[in-house]
């Protein structure tokens, strides 16, 4: 047997540990070879790792970073080995970490490059498995580790329970506590924190993102700062500073270190209880409060939201057929989503009520609900779960109105067989259209400008209504607001792959292009889901082109880059849509494995020809194909071809056609 470049004897495997994950068994085996030890995950159909590769996987499990090999993909919480996939909850992930660590330690005497006895990874693993009563107790030990690596120290800020203020929690070495950081004093900095995971300031005193902190940075004698942002279900939770005295060029290893330290802090902030990680504020004595206290919390949150122009959400959750033990389990799963300012009430046979005291972005409540639904379905297999959402001020402006809206939405969810419902105008109708295949697709051709050969067809979603077809730009804002973007993306992909499979026997070479949202792009399970969808239809990955917009990348460059790397590894093509509206810097473009870059239609005009030429040269400089969009006239087509655009799309080349006319487009390469 061969795996990862290792020749092994199938009879020589020794079982080290069988791990139980979601009712399945994950075998971990090892075998001593002349060149060292081999480690196998997943049995005969699994993957064989060298010790160094097992160490890399171990570290990425610890940090939460994605990791890809030829037959193994780790994208939290999904571990895909060969043809099998596992969802690793915190308990399963910890068990796998401990098993791999024990196996590596035990095999040090025979490994080619064993893990050194004293590395920061080992020290951090040991710290991650200790019990700390508070994050303040852990900071000195984390700080000692940071100092031993040559840095100045660390500093941690966490969001205040009731405000957006970031309060200083502690630093090492100890120093005079600085003033709180507030959005009023530091609006740019808070905006940067909201949209990033890592902020690597190589010259902290010159970095524009930290301008508002310059006085603080100078007072602390800092030349460079690596900042890791802690995000929670309700938005910004805090930020950790990894500090250096002099300006420095931060390396990927530095980024990994910072992420690993934050992972330890996250473990402390989410203490392990009953083998489940539950966020439970210290002052709460139980997972749920009484209804009277909950209603008081709702009234106070509503008053603050009205005063400060904020949004909040009330969720009603009902689960049919629960026994007492399952009720307690459900309470723990729901409590996982709680911030200190949120509230949970158990209403007996009426289920639960969950208050999200502040919703910071349009689809925030729906994202919480979708995560919560997944947790409840996994924990309470076979039971019907209904979640109704009411938003302030969109759905109601009073406590009574929110209760009624959330209750009605929950009832409709259960009547439909479970799931999530909102009564926001149009939301239920759109959700129904997705569930009942009520949308439709049109396809627009994309041609090679050199020989006018058909290169691809782009799938465009339409919503048929009595007054005509509604294009995507009319209903996607609603889908984003109510959290249906992922569902809409999945519906589109399924329909597109059906068409691709239908026309595959005809020998059609054209690709199918699909727009995906940032919500889908940042879903760690998406690459595995996409791979499964392609495999189910026996389609090669390169039949698909995934298009994304610049704003999706700018929202979280680090996470987006990791997701795109995994998708690229799977073999799909990647395209950046509408380049030029919020142009990404060239340095950012180089970090993203793009195949196509589709130019904004505004660049096709005569007055923008010089800008278009520069944009096309930039596209070619990063190794991508330049696609001219919005070609309406022959003059635009000729001009963009002369300027060097590779491909073209627009009404002059072909209008979008319905799926029933797709055959003519693919076989003859003509539009209507």
Reduce the secondary structure of 499-533 to three states and give it as a string.
HHHHHHHHCCCCEEEEECCHHHHCCCCHHHHHHHH
> Nearest Cα to 178, choosing from 236, 219, 209?
219
Q: What is the mean pLDDT of residues 156-169?
A: 80
Q: Are residues 92 and 209 in the same domain?
A: no
> Nearest Cα to 591, choosing from 627, 554, 551, 626?
554
In angstroms, how far apart are the furthest CA atoms of the chain? 74
Specify the pLDDT at position 669.
Answer: 54
Specify the pLDDT at position 456.
Answer: 93
- 37 by DSSP, 3-state: which? strand
The pLDDT > 70 percentage for the chain reads 84
Q: 272-273 and 596-599: which strand pairing?
A: unpaired
What does the pLDDT look like over 375-385, one tens digit per residue?
888 788 778 89
Residue 630 maps to a domain:
yes
Return d(Cα 518, Cα 530) in angstroms, integer.
15
Q: Are residues 410 and 466 in the same domain?
A: no
- Could you list the beta-strand ranges (E) of 34-109: 36-41, 47-49, 67-68, 72-75, 78-81, 84-87
Residue 280 maps to a domain:
no
Q: Give the chain's domain count.
A: 4
Residue 242 maps to a domain:
yes
Q: Are residues 520 and 415 in the same domain?
A: no
Residue 65, domain CATH = 3.30.2450
Q: Are residues 405 and 324 in the same domain?
A: yes
Which domain range does residue 73 map to? 2-113
Specify the pLDDT at position 599.
Answer: 93
Q: Are residues 349 and 451 in the same domain?
A: no
Q: Are residues 133 and 247 in the same domain?
A: yes
Estimate to the nearest angstrom the gap between the alpha carbon of 169 and the chain centroid: 27
- Name residues whose C-beta falls within 8 Å of residue 286's C-beta, 6 or more positions apart in sequence: none
Return d(Cα 659, Cα 491) in angstroms, integer.
15
> Nearest Cα to 402, choosing from 316, 328, 336, 483?
316
Confidence of residue 284 (pLDDT cuts 50, 70, 90): very low
Q: 544-549 and 343-346: which strand pairing?
A: unpaired
Give yes or no for residue 308 having a pLDDT over 80.
no
Please state, in angstroms and as integers, the Cα–Cα distance from residue 614 to each residue in 617, 643, 662, following that order.
5, 9, 35
Of the residues 242, 275, 308, the one at which a domain ends: 275
| Residue linked to tokens 């723990």 | 332
> Nearest Cα to 156, choosing from 141, 135, 133?
135
Between 556 and 508, the higher pLDDT residue = 508
Tell me the two tokens of residue 541: 């990955």
Q: What is the mean pLDDT of residues 559-567?
A: 81
Q: Are residues 80 and 198 in the same domain?
A: no
Return d(Cα 530, Cα 127) in angstroms, integer.
36
What does the pLDDT look like over 218-255, one tens digit per residue?
888 899 999 988 876 556 788 999 999 899 888 877 87
Return d(Cα 105, Cα 116) in angstroms, integer.
9
Confidence of residue 670 (pLDDT cuts 50, 70, 90): very low
CB-neighbour burial class of residue 44 (10 A; exposed 0-12, middle 13-18, buried 19+): exposed
Q: Are residues 23 and 94 in the same domain?
A: yes
Confidence of residue 587 (pLDDT cuts 50, 70, 90): low
Specify the pLDDT at position 174.
Answer: 80
**489 HSE (CA, 13 A, CB side):** 21
Residue 383 maps to a domain:
yes
What does the pLDDT look like over 521-559, one tens digit per residue?
877 778 888 988 999 999 999 999 999 987 777 656 666
Confidence of residue 561 (pLDDT cuts 50, 70, 90): confident
Return d(Cα 363, Cα 408) in angstroms, integer.
20
* Greatest mean pLDDT among 11-20, 292-301, 393-402: 393-402
Return d(Cα 575, Cα 646) in angstroms, integer.
13
Residue 281 maps to a domain:
no
Specify the pLDDT at position 2.
Answer: 42
Give yes or no for residue 282 having a pLDDT over 50.
no
The pLDDT > 90 percentage for the chain reads 21
Residue 139 maps to a domain:
yes
Of the residues 275, 309, 339, the one at which a domain ends: 275
Specify the pLDDT at position 279.
Answer: 31
Q: Are residues 24 and 132 in the same domain?
A: no
| Residue linked to tokens 């180089």 | 590
Residue 174, domain CATH = 3.30.450.40
Q: Are residues 550 and 656 in the same domain?
A: yes
Between 25 and 112, the higher pLDDT residue = 25
Residue 283 maps to a domain:
no
Residue 229 maps to a domain:
yes
The continuous run of DSSP H or E covering 428 comes out as: helix 427-435
Confidence of residue 644 (pLDDT cuts 50, 70, 90): very high
Contact 62, 119 (CB under 8 A): no
Beta bridge partners of 238: 158, 230
Q: Are residues 401 and 455 in the same domain?
A: no
Q: List the single range of 160-174, 289-303, 547-561 with lowest mean pLDDT.
A: 547-561
Confidence of residue 352 (pLDDT cuts 50, 70, 90): very high
- Could you list the beta-strand ranges (E) of 149-219: 153-159, 166-172, 198-201
Give yes or no for residue 588 having a pLDDT over 80.
no
Q: Are residues 242 and 316 in the same domain?
A: no
Tell me the two tokens of residue 245: 């005295």
Specify the pLDDT at position 640.
Answer: 94
Residue 646, domain CATH = 3.20.20.450
Q: What is the mean pLDDT of residues 75-101?
A: 78
Average pLDDT, the chain: 80
Buried b (16+ CB within 10 A) or exposed e, 105-141: eebeeebeebbeeeebbbbbbebbeeebeebeebbeb
Specify the pLDDT at position 356.
Answer: 87
Confidence of residue 7 (pLDDT cuts 50, 70, 90): low
Estimate to the nearest angstrom the gap between the alpha carbon of 579 and the chain centroid: 22
Contact 356, 384 (CB under 8 A): no
- Name residues whose C-beta falls within 8 Å of residue 640's C-beta, 6 or more positions apart in sequence: 449, 604, 612, 628, 631, 648
The continuous run of DSSP H or E covering 20 comes out as: strand 14-21
What does the pLDDT look like over 436-492, one tens digit per residue?
888 899 999 999 999 888 999 999 999 888 777 788 777 877 777 666 788 889 999
Cis peptide before 393 (omega within 30 of 0): yes
Contact 410, 317 (CB under 8 A): yes
Of the residues 87, 113, 139, the one at which a domain ends: 113
Please state, in angstroms and as integers, the Cα–Cα distance from residue 339 to each residue in 77, 336, 356, 571, following that order.
22, 9, 8, 39
Contact 650, 445 (CB under 8 A): no
Confidence of residue 363 (pLDDT cuts 50, 70, 90): low
- Name residues whose C-beta falls within 8 Å of residue 128's C-beta, 6 or more positions apart in sequence: 62, 263, 264, 267
Tell me the two tokens of residue 588: 């950012």
| Residues present in the chain in total | 672
Tell me the two tokens of residue 638: 């000729």
């Amino acid at each position: 047997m061969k795996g990862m470049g290792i020749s092994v004897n199938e009879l020589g495997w020794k079982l080290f540990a069988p791990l139980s994950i979601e009712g399945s068994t994950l075998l971990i085996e090892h075998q001593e070879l002349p060149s060292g030890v081999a480690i196998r995950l997943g049995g005969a159909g699994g993957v064989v790792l060298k010790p160094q590769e097992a160490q890399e996987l171990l570290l990425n499990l610890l940090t939460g970073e994605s990791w890809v090999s030829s037959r193994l993909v780790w994208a939290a919480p999904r571990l895909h080995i060969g043809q099998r996939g596992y969802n690793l909850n915190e308990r399963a992930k910890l068990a796998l970490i401990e098993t791999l660590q024990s196996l590596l330690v035990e095999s040090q005497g025979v490994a080619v490059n064993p893990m050194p006895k004293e590395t920061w990874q080992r020290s951090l693993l040991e710290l991650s498995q200790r019990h700390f009563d508070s994050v303040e107790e852990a900071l000195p030990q984390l700080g000692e580790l940071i100092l031993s690596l040559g840095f100045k120290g660390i500093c941690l800020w966490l969001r205040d329970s009731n405000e957006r203020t970031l309060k200083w929690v502690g630093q090492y070495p100890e120093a005079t506590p600085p003033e709180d950081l507030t959005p009023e004093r530091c609006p740019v900095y808070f905006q940067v924190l909201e949209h990033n995971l890592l902020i690597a300031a190589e010259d902290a005193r010159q970095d524009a993102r930290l301008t508002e902190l310059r006085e603080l940075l100078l007072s602390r004698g800092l030349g460079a700062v690596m900042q890791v942002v802690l995000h929670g279900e309700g938005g910004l939770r805090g930020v950790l500073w990894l500090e250096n005295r002099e300006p420095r060029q931060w390396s990927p290893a530095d980024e990994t270190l910072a992420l690993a330290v934050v992972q330890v802090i996250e473990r402390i902030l989410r203490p392990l209880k009953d083998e489940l990680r539950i966020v439970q504020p210290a002052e709460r004595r139980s997972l749920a409060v009484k209804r009277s206290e909950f209603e008081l919390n709702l009234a106070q949150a509503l008053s603050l939201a009205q005063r400060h122009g904020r949004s909040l959400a009330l969720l009603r959750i009902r689960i049919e057929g629960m026994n007492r033990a399952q009720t307690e389990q459900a309470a723990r799963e729901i409590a996982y989503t709680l911030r200190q300012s949120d509230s949970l009430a158990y209403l007996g046979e009426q289920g639960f009520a969950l208050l999200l005291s502040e919703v910071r972005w349009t689809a925030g409540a729906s994202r919480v609900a979708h995560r919560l639904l997944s947790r409840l379905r996994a924990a309470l297999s076979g039971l019907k779960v209904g979640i109704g959402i009411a938003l302030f001020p969109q759905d109601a402006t009073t406590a009574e109105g929110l209760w009624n809206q959330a209750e009605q939405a929950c009832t409709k969810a259960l009547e439909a067989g479970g799931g999530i419902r909102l009564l926001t105008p149009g939301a239920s109708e759109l959700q129904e259209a997705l569930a009942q295949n009520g949308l439709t697709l049109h396809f627009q051709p994309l041609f090679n400008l050199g020989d006018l050969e058909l290169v691809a067809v782009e799938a465009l979603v339409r919503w048929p209504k009595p007054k005509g077809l509604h294009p995507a730009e009319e209903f996607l804002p609603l889908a984003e607001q109510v959290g249906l973007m992922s569902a809409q993306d999945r519906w589109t992909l399924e329909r597109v792959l059906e068409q691709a499979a239908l026309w595959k026997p005809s020998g059609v070479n054209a690709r199918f292009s699909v727009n995906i949202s940032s919500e889908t792009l940042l879903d760690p399970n998406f690459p595995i889901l996409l791979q499964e969808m392609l495999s189910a239809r026996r389609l090669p990955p390169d039949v698909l082109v995934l298009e994304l917009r610049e704003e999706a990348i700018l929202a979280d460059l680090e996470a987006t880059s990791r997701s795109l790397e995994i998708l690229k590894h799977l073999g799909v093509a990647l395209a950046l849509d509408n380049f030029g509206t919020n142009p990404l810097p060239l340095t950012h473009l180089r970090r993203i494995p793009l195949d196509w870059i589709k130019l904004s239609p505004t660049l096709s005009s005569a007055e923008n020809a010089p800008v278009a030429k520069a944009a096309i040269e930039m596209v070619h400089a990063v190794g991508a194909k330049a696609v001219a969009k919005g070609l309406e006239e022959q003059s635009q087509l000729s001009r963009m071809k002369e300027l060097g655009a590779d491909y073209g799309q627009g009404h002059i080349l072909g209008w979008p056609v319905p799926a029933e006319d797709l055959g003519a487009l693919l076989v003859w390469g003509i539009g209507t």
